[in-house]
Structure 1
Amino acid sequence: MDWQPHATVLAERVTHRTSRWRAPVARTPRHVLVPRWWERAADGWAVRDGAADPERWLGVAYSDKTLVTRVGALHADCAADDDRPAGRPTSSSTLPGLDVLMFQHARIGDDNTLGHVGTGPGYADALACHRLGDKQVTSMDIDPYLVDAARERLGELGLHPTILAVDATGEVPGTFDRIVSTVAVRPIPASWLSALEPGGRLVTTITGTSLLVTADKNEDGSASGRVEWDRAGFMSARRGPDYPPRLASLLAVAREHEGEAVTTGRYPVVHVTEAWDLASMLDVTTPGIEHEFEEVEGRRTALMIHPDGSWARASAFGTATPTVHQGGPRRLWDALDEVRDLWLATGELPLRGARVLVKPSGATYLARGKWSVRL
């Protein structure tokens, strides 16, 4: 199969012609690392087999798109054609442009050692091996199957990084000049700071947000940096085969109940998860909210639920002011409106460009101007 022209076009799409990451992208046969993947279907997730349609396989593999490879506890490699899992994605091959972006933010030098958290199918590790060499790359994932599959497929490509099945939010084996995480965490694990060499740099994203954080290790063992202006979103780090189940019963309450408070909202209904800065600020101030949104014949409805039992429902046609129903110990829609108030009052939200301080304990602080928060 003639994959090389496709990889070359992808490299031209996701890198600048002077980038040191252009050659690694052009040299990496992504389709070998992702032979099967999941796509959304009307009745759940449907598995796609590359070998069954090679032309489509090449088109998908060399697109700058994320390919979901695991849903719930079921990897696409192990799925039957009629499997229709309904859970959440638990592993994927990140869109290549985002892998490159994360590595660029790491400012990786030729002699640097790299600790990569979130092996997945191994595509990012293939890029790193082409850029640095096998001996300078260590990759970690909590899933033994993913680790074994990535090690075998990378080996077929002549690439042999160290790949370990470990929970990298716990102890991290070894020390590194750079740590790049393609799973989201909150807070930043203290073990990452311990594993960073003096002057080392870490790059990660914060769970529940689109915040991309870079931080350099200080002499006192802390790390300081910033929230970059770029946005990035990754699956959150998990500590088992799947994420905890969603709050289905509370979601049903939010759909149907009147609630203890019924008011008229001040702003139109918004699809929160599609408004990245708004969603990030809300999750920083009120972490843990799950969102649902639907639009039917012009009526927009947003649902918010929280593990503490709080819920909210806002509904209106178009951009009209919504009727808002809320219940539980907190008023979630009011928390959202407070974020929108701040946005209107200041002209922007203070997250992007905020200073970051990560203490040796992993406690993570953001600050910009008079605003500050501990994650």
Structure 2
Amino acid sequence: MEWKDHAATLAASATPPGSRWREPIATTPRHTFVPRWWANTRDGWELRDGDSDHDRWLAAVYRDWTLVTRVGNLHADHAEPGACADGSPTSSSTLPGLIAQMFRHASIGDRCTVLDVGTGSGYGTAVLCNRLGAARVTSIDVDPYLNEAAAARLEKNGYKPRIITGDATGPLDWEGDRIVATVSVRPVPPSWLAALKTGGRLATTITGTSLILTADKQEDGGAVGRVEYDRAGFMRARAGADYPARDQSLLERAGVEEGENVESSRYPVLDVVNAWDVGTMLELIAPGIEHRYITDNGDRVALMAHPDGSWARAEERGGMVTVHQSGPRRLWSYLDAVRDRWIRHGELPFRGARATITPEGMITLRRGDWTAPIGQ
């Protein structure tokens, strides 16, 4: 089975019938952009080399899923055979269905000029070039090697878009009609609003949430739009080679210390990270909480910690839930308030919320009598 057959099958699963992105995905050879990647296994991140198993390579890259290409500072291209990596993913080839979804939310017309924020493997940039032509496409990434490798692979496929190496949240040497980000931000970088033409549109996600935000630039330099009903999560935009190391000491304390406040909970222990809507609402209320979820022989423990010194531990043993909390805020109480609202109203309010963005990038979400400011 040749790559074109795989790509056609991928396009059919990643896009709805009639999508203008189906043909570009069906005719873009994704395998040329991801020759090696990291697989998340029980033993950690393990290297996969396409040349060592051609059939597995094609099966992996033409499936609608994300392939991690860089963990910490180590790109799969530079790893020794049989290598494992430690750390968090710092670059990937986003699943094609999500790429198409973000492009759709950006309302990209055939004559639009587009800034692709987060070059990564270069595959998304190639899909844009396939449809629009390379002259209308610019891509930006902070990592020089990512851009170097992507540019070479794009050129082998006949595309020479402009590629910028730099911090995408800083000043931009670009002006155009659409900005599509496959990294998350909070708030919207003011440089994006400055670079968009009046009437131009941005499509991005908000860091720490599953919110897809679309907004159209206004004459005053701000933008108005909404939170889409779809969900997505991307790595946050970074300004350096890796993300800053996180201090895990408060989470460790949360796992063992007696809380200042100890009480029973009316709700079961929840894995907040994988409860996307609940986690999103919590992030809007108290941004920056770190989570850890542990299971052991049917018992469940959830830990929460915030840089302000607040922490919580919820333990579910034998059907009973005990919550320990300390610090200036009661984090688990915030979580319970989110679940109370969901039960009372039948939904959480952020999907479909109206969004207004100041020229400085500060976001305000509104739906009915609910309002949420999103700043730093």
Identical-pair percentage? 57
CA distance in 1, matches of 2:233, 2:147: 22
2:165 is matched with 165
- Provide the TM-score with structure 1 as the length reference: 0.97
Q: Secondary structure at the match of 1:100?
A: helix
* 142-151 or 83-92: bigger deviation: 83-92
2:271 is matched with 271
CA distance in 2, matches of 1:82, 1:62: 23
Shift of 1:302: 0.8
The within-5 A match list for 1:106-117 is 106-117=106-117
CA distance in 2, matches of 1:257, 1:105: 46
1:351 is matched with 350
Does the Cα contact within 8 Å between 1:269 and 1:321 map onto a contact in 2? no
Aligned length: 374
* 241-250 or 54-63: bigger deviation: 241-250
The within-5 A match list for 1:1-375 is 2-317=2-317, 320-375=319-374
Shift of 1:252: 1.4
CA distance in 2, matches of 1:73, 1:268: 38
Deviation sequence 1:230-282 (CA, Å, 0-9, x none): 00110000111111222322221111111211111121111111111100000
CA distance in 1, matches of 2:83, 2:67: 17
Does the Cα contact within 8 Å between 1:267 and 1:321 map onto a contact in 2? no
Q: Secondary structure at the match of 1:322?
A: strand
Q: In structure 1, what residue type is equivalent to 2:99? A: D
Shift of 1:42: 3.1
CA distance in 2, matches of 1:17, 1:345: 38
Deviation sequence 1:72-104 (CA, Å, 0-9, x none): 111111112343322111110000000000000
Deviation sequence 1:348-372 (CA, Å, 0-9, x none): 1111010000110111111111111
Q: Secondary structure at the match of 2:255?
A: helix
Alignment root-mean-square deviation, CA: 1.2
- Provide the TM-score with structure 2 as the length reference: 0.97
Q: Secondary structure at the match of 2:85?
A: coil
CA distance in 2, matches of 1:150, 1:311: 42
Q: Secondary structure at the match of 2:202?
A: strand
Q: Secondary structure at the match of 1:356?
A: strand
Q: In structure 1, what residue type is equivalent to 2:355? A: V
CA distance in 1, matches of 2:247, 2:170: 27
Q: In structure 2, what residue type is equivalent to 1:325? A: H
Does the Cα contact within 8 Å between 1:46 and 1:81 map onto a contact in 2? no
Shift of 1:11: 0.7
Does the Cα contact within 8 Å between 1:141 and 1:164 map onto a contact in 2? yes
Shift of 1:321: 4.3
Shift of 1:301: 1.1
Q: In structure 1, what residue type is equivalent to 2:174? A: G
CA distance in 1, matches of 2:123, 2:137: 13
Shift of 1:43: 3.2
CA distance in 1, matches of 2:310, 2:302: 14
Q: Secondary structure at the match of 1:98?
A: helix
* 181-190 or 260-269: bigger deviation: 260-269
Deviation sequence 1:136-171 (CA, Å, 0-9, x none): 000000111101000001111111111111101011
CA distance in 1, matches of 2:222, 2:297: 53
CA distance in 2, matches of 1:131, 1:339: 42
CA distance in 2, matches of 1:95, 1:208: 19
Q: In structure 2, what residue type is equivalent to 1:19? A: S
Unaligned runs of 5+ residues in structure 1 are none
Q: Secondary structure at the match of 2:84?
A: coil
CA distance in 1, matches of 2:172, 2:59: 37
CA distance in 2, matches of 1:268, 1:331: 17
Unaligned runs of 5+ residues in structure 2 are none
Shift of 1:15: 1.4
Q: Secondary structure at the match of 1:245?
A: coil
CA distance in 1, matches of 2:320, 2:334: 17
Q: Return structure 1 stretches of 4+ with deviation > 4 angstroms.
A: none
CA distance in 2, matches of 1:88, 1:250: 19
CA distance in 1, matches of 2:220, 2:249: 47
